[in-house]
Amino acid sequence: MDTATNGDSRPLERTVVDLFDEWAARDPDRVAVEWKNEQLTYGQLRNASLHVSQELLAAGVKPRSRVPVLTQMSLEMLPAVIGVLRVGACYIPMDVVAWSRGRIESALSDLSSSVALFTSHCPGLELSSYVDHVVEFRSSWLLSHVTEGLETLCKRLDQIRQGFQYNDLAWIVFTSGTTGKPKGVMVYHRGICSVAMVRLNDNLDVVTAEKGLRGLLAYSIAFDGCAGVVWLNLTKGGTLVMASPSNFPQVSTTCEVLSMTPSMLAVMDPSGDYDMVRDNGYNQLELKPGKDPPFGELIPNVEVVLVDENLQECSYGEVMITGPGLAADYYKNPEFTAQQFIEWNGKRFYRTGFLVNLDTEVEPALASFKPVRVAVAFKWRERLVGCIQPANVNIEELRQFMKERYDPFIIPDIIVALDSFPLRPNGKTDRGALKEQLDQGETEEEEVSFEGETKTASAYDVLRMAFSQVLHVPVQQLNEISAFTKNGGNSLTALKLTNLLNKKGFSVSVVDVLKLDTIGQLQDVLKRSTPSNDKGSDKEPEFGFCDIPVTPVQRLFLNRSLEYPKFCALIGTTRYVGEASKTPTASEIRDACFKVWSAHSIFRTRFDLDKFTLSDLGILNIDWHDVVVEQDNFEAACAAAEERAWSSLENLKPSDTEVPYCDMTCVSVPGRRASALISRTHHVLVDVFSSAILPADVERALAGEDIVSRPRFQDFARFMQKYTREKLARATDTFSKMIQPLHKDAVLKLPRPLTLPSKQAFDLVRFKAPTSISRAKLNAAVHRLGIANRTMAYAAWPLFLAKVTGWNQLGFSISLSGRTIPWPEVESVVGPLLSRVPFSTPVPSSGRVQEWLAEVHKATLDTLEFDGLSHALPDSIMADPHQNATIVLCFLDVPQPSANWTYSEKQRHNYLLNWSIFQEGHEVTNVLEVQSSGVDMEWAEEMKGVPGDLLNALVDSTENTLIESLLY
């Protein structure tokens, strides 16, 4: 039953109950609380709390126990809370009116307390099923003294008080759960006492002490703001005037001090400019540094800093706060505690997750538009949403107003105007309910548009609804000029859009979506078709498929592995980095992997190396090895397993290509202390996108979920036969024209090494160079310009080549994921879909950057139209030396891995330079991989950061930025 005290046995000097008792002794007849015209004095409140303490002690409550208090706004509420605190226990407030029975039952189950106290019943709740003893508050306690055993009780309470420790908890308050499962925030005695003792307003404190000013209490007891109001009043001799959500506007007229949320204040004075606001009581998540009153001052000993993603102080970033009122931990949630409470510059800080700017923030920026009365902002589905009142605000005028005055990251992606906001019991805007309204509105619109009106709806209406569903933008905000890319669309969301339209009976290609971009242009090419779930043609039975021609990229890998076996191996390392106590064992990982691999048909495949066909092997193709080591040897064992994976490539036989190798080595430490999986897989089976799909399935399997059969690669291969026949001629023409302008001498020549490096298991040198770009910053730039993330990468690389060679146009290769191929389930099929594609674009040094980016984007879309086909092109194109010396791999659209796992991969290749860009956390990172046998390493070391610097410059470019300023 002991709540964490972190081993600190220092005595606790003062508590809020001590301060309250001083007032009860000093002026026992002063009114402490009022509810529905009934009152309790300080003396009566103290006596009632002693009754509660006596009953709790009799029920076996001990110091540092956890006591749920089921109550509601009433005179009984406060003596119940004070009575729990007197016996050294911490209380857990549960509002039987505001909380559902299910939420109360969930909290009770989580707490596992032995004693619960209630002042009000929760209908249908069997409280005795969750605790051993139930204490019911008796109304007679409100107006009576403790008559039996008072002296003994007081002595015992004095002894308990002397044992209070520095890190004892006062209460645990469960959050509303709008972002997931409610979290229990554990609050120290010393924290609330130090806050209660602060003199926020000298005049107010003096008047309260002399006359007992009346302060409004309209918050639910389960809201953390309630405790602040209670103790700031009862420790200073004030009178708490209780009110319900329905009558607080009337009750507040009898009070001198009002504590309200902005939403409550808006109800009080809908047209108000809030001239009467004197002090702002923002909580820890809402403190606004650098503002003058009335927008808040920091109380003494509270420190607020803004930090960037690297925890460096900045002018725009995440709010971190420290001070005497900082909470302890999150109840039974050490992982989340470790994320939110960190040591920074020698102090314990709370990471709020709240992004602000020292001068401008989203909500004040919205509210600065005169017609806006109230504004709230929050994140919904990775988009910044602003909700405003009233509903008749002109959103387009608001957007234009903000564009003229604020930075782009301040302007919400979505703005919704409403007549009113839903409120929580504490009077705050219910952001969770607003998100539910957005979800519900989206669902209702989908049902109406797609289910009820599909047959008669216009192309315009169908596209609006499809845009809304895929991009999570309210349909009311979409019109003919609404652009797919500027609303956050990319190649993957374009694929989702085309698949959605296909299922509803409409046809349009991914490339058309990205090229035409706006609803107005797309409605002219949207075609009505027969809804189809076809995954190819003449779909084979689940098992026993045979003699299906391999895809073009599989044919490449099979040929290459027969000639150069090492160049088709993917060596990956997957590590568990989640909560230590949940580290999966080797057997759990093995069972999950076998379950997942069995669901993907590619791992039951045999290849005919003469006919270049694939067929059913009949069994699962996976070799498993377990390595169990002590903790001190874990890293060395992982490195050794990776080295063995590379060394084993020296002994490959043709049969290892006919039935491609798929080897897994699980390295683990007994007792769930560490686990990693080193994989050696033939490239003819998987690609980097597959390496994102498989771990996600493994995590589901580890969680006990069923893994159903996934899309079958043989169906995709059959589709590719027809797709290749239809598109190959146009693809050949497009790529021939792309490389035609290249000068015959424009072949990349880099400084060669003076001495060849020694032969190693893995002889490519990797230079990792983090950029200064966050993913959010990159997204904002490409949305503003109406281009794709990959376009930025495909522009940065020719700039780099021009910078190091002097040529204004050099060819290079890019890698396409294959996930824009127009096959309905391409997004989730496991197999090698990626392809190498020739690419070239001139670099006009005298041109403007943003105009040039539009041209690069057009070339990018031209290549995407033939995703998956390049390896069927003639050798005259694919073997052209102008474009096969370097390659760019943009992985920004690959699904992000679970936070519980990390994955790294190595692969041999014969490019002189391989530049990859990917997301790591919230940042954009790039790696320059160099062939050490063909490039001088001193030159490579000097050049490693240049491509990333050019990418930064492109993101930061303005309308007037010239290309030559980036080159010289």
pTM value > 0.85? no
- Residue 838: what residue type? P
Contact between 921 and 309 (Cβ < 8 Å): yes
Output the pLDDT for position 426.
Answer: 64
Superfamily of domain 441-528: ACP-like (1.10.1200.10)
Q: How do beta strands 812-816 and 886-890 pair?
A: parallel
SS3 714: helix
**Joined tokens for residue 296:** 């808040």
C-alpha 835/C-alpha 917 separation (Å) is 17
For 148, residues 6+ apart whose C-beta sits below 8 A from its C-beta are: none
Output the pLDDT for position 468.
Answer: 82
Instruction: Give which of 188, 198, 216, 211 is closest to 8, Cα–Cα.
Output: 188
- Gyration radius of the chain over CA positions: 33
DSSP output for 668-699: EETTTTEEEEEEEEETTT--TTHHHHHHHHHH
Output the pLDDT for position 638.
Answer: 93
Where do you find CATH 1.10.1200.10 in the chain? Answer: 441-528
**Joined tokens for residue 37:** 């015209």
Output the pLDDT for position 761.
Answer: 46
> In terms of DSSP H, where are the helices of 34-188?
42-58, 77-86, 101-111, 150-162
Burial classification of residue 754, based on how many CB atoms lie within 10 Å of its CB (0-12 exposed, 13-18 middle, 19 or more buried): exposed
**341-350: pLDDT as tens digits:** 888 888 888 8
Where do you find CATH 3.30.559.10 in the chain? Answer: 548-712
How many degrees, rounded to 5, is the angle at CA 574 between CA 570 and CA 576? 175
**Joined tokens for residue 873:** 């092109």
Output the pLDDT for position 298.
Answer: 55
C-alpha 794/C-alpha 888 separation (Å) is 7
- Angle at which helix 849-864 crosses helix 713-739, to 10 degrees, equals 130
Contact between 873 and 659 (Cβ < 8 Å): no
Half-sphere exposure of 107 (CA within 13 A, CB side): 31
Instruction: Give which of 799, 770, 798 is closest to 918, Cα–Cα.
Output: 770
**Joined tokens for residue 582:** 């949940």
DSSP output for 163-180: T-BTT-EEEEEE---TTS
What CATH number does the domain located at 716-967 have?
3.30.559.30
How many degrees, rounded to 5, is the angle at CA 142 between CA 137 and CA 143? 145
**Joined tokens for residue 357:** 């700017």
Contact between 677 and 795 (Cβ < 8 Å): no
Where do you find CATH 3.40.50.12780 in the chain? Answer: 16-268
Output the pLDDT for position 200.
Answer: 52
Select from 1.10.150.110, 3.40.50.300, 2.130.10.10, 3.30.559.10 the CATH code of 548-712: 3.30.559.10
C-alpha 372/C-alpha 419 separation (Å) is 11
**Joined tokens for residue 856:** 């690069």
Instruction: Give which of 158, 268, 289, 179 is closest to 216, Cα–Cα.
Output: 268
Superfamily of domain 303-417: Luciferase; Domain 3 (2.30.38.10)
SS3 439: helix
Q: How do beta strands 66-71 and 90-95 pair?
A: parallel
Instruction: Give which of 714, 596, 605 is closest to 664, Cα–Cα.
Output: 596
- What φ, ψ does residue 806 adopt, rounded to 5°? 90, -10
Q: Find tokens 């990626």 and name the residue.
A: 834
Contact between 574 and 676 (Cβ < 8 Å): yes
Output the pLDDT for position 567.
Answer: 76
Output the pLDDT for position 294.
Answer: 34
Neighbouring C-beta atoms of residue 875, cutoff 10 Å = 7
Contact between 591 and 633 (Cβ < 8 Å): no
Where do you find CATH 3.30.559.30 in the chain? Answer: 716-967
Question: Which of the residues in the chain have pLDDT under 70?
Answer: 1-9, 176-182, 198-210, 262-263, 266-301, 314-317, 354-361, 381-383, 407-409, 425-427, 441-456, 527-545, 757-763, 770, 897, 908
Rounded to the nearest integer, the mean pLDDT of the chain is 83
For 905, residues 6+ apart whose C-beta sits below 8 A from its C-beta are: 570, 571, 572, 573, 688, 691
> In terms of DSSP H, where are the helices of 310-429?
334-340, 362-367, 395-405
For 638, residues 6+ apart whose C-beta sits below 8 A from its C-beta are: 573, 575, 667, 676, 678
How many degrees, rounded to 5, is the angle at CA 94 between CA 91 and CA 97? 150
C-alpha 961/C-alpha 963 separation (Å) is 7
C-alpha 960/C-alpha 851 separation (Å) is 10
Contact between 811 and 882 (Cβ < 8 Å): yes
**179-222: pLDDT as tens digits:** 445 678 888 888 888 777 765 555 555 556 667 789 999 988 98
CATH architecture of 16-268: 3-Layer(aba) Sandwich (3.40)
Q: Reply yes or no: is the peptide bond before residue 294 cis, omega within 30 of 0.
A: yes
